[in-house]
Homo-oligomer: A and B are copies of this chain.
Amino acid sequence: MPLPQTEVPGRLQAELMSRGLRMTHQRRTILSVVETAKQHLDASQILRQARRLDPGIDRVTVYRTLGLLKRHGLIDELDLMHMQGEKHFYERRPQRDHIHMACLRCGKIAEFESDLFDRLKGQIQRECRFHIVVSRLEVGGYCAECRASN
């Protein structure tokens, strides 16, 4: 399932600047990588891509920028069931939360939006009086293809 391309390029930059943050060359580079990514990238992949645009960039700057984006709620951090070590993956925060399904056999990641998920979060907020800032639903299992070819 490909990631939907629903955002105007430059939106993350605009968001950060509107919050009064200093816009450096390195940040612009990292933001553009995250913004135009077609799949979920981990920090080292983001570093590699950013270095193609600005070879001097350091991995610590990538980590710091990802932390910044996370704190501002502009990106989400995913674990994807820790199928490939302990690395984390990142994606622009979507308008509507979705579920990540990780196939334990082929490693494919699929996404799924569901009204039930939205209702569940509403129930949590109401019944537990818990104000949700970030949510993450990940499931591990076997996708249709892998179940068939078994």
Residues of A participating in the B interface, judged by any CB pair closer than 8 Å? 77, 79, 81-82, 86, 99, 101, 103-104, 110, 112, 114, 116-117, 119-121, 123-124, 127-144, 147
Contact = CB atoms under 8 A, between A and B. Distances in A.
Q: Which among A86, A124, A142 has the greatest number of chain B C-beta atoms within 10 A?
A: A124
Copy number of this protein in the oligomer?
2
Nearest to A111: B128
Contact of A137 (B81, B114, B129, B136): B136
Contacts of A134: 81, 139-141
Contacts of A138: 135-136
Contacts of A120: 99, 114, 116-117, 120
A117 B110 CA distance: 19
A34 to B, nearest CB: 19
A144 B127 CA distance: 10
9 contacts: A81-B134, A99-B124, A101-B124, A101-B130, A110-B128, A112-B124, A112-B128, A128-B143, A131-B141
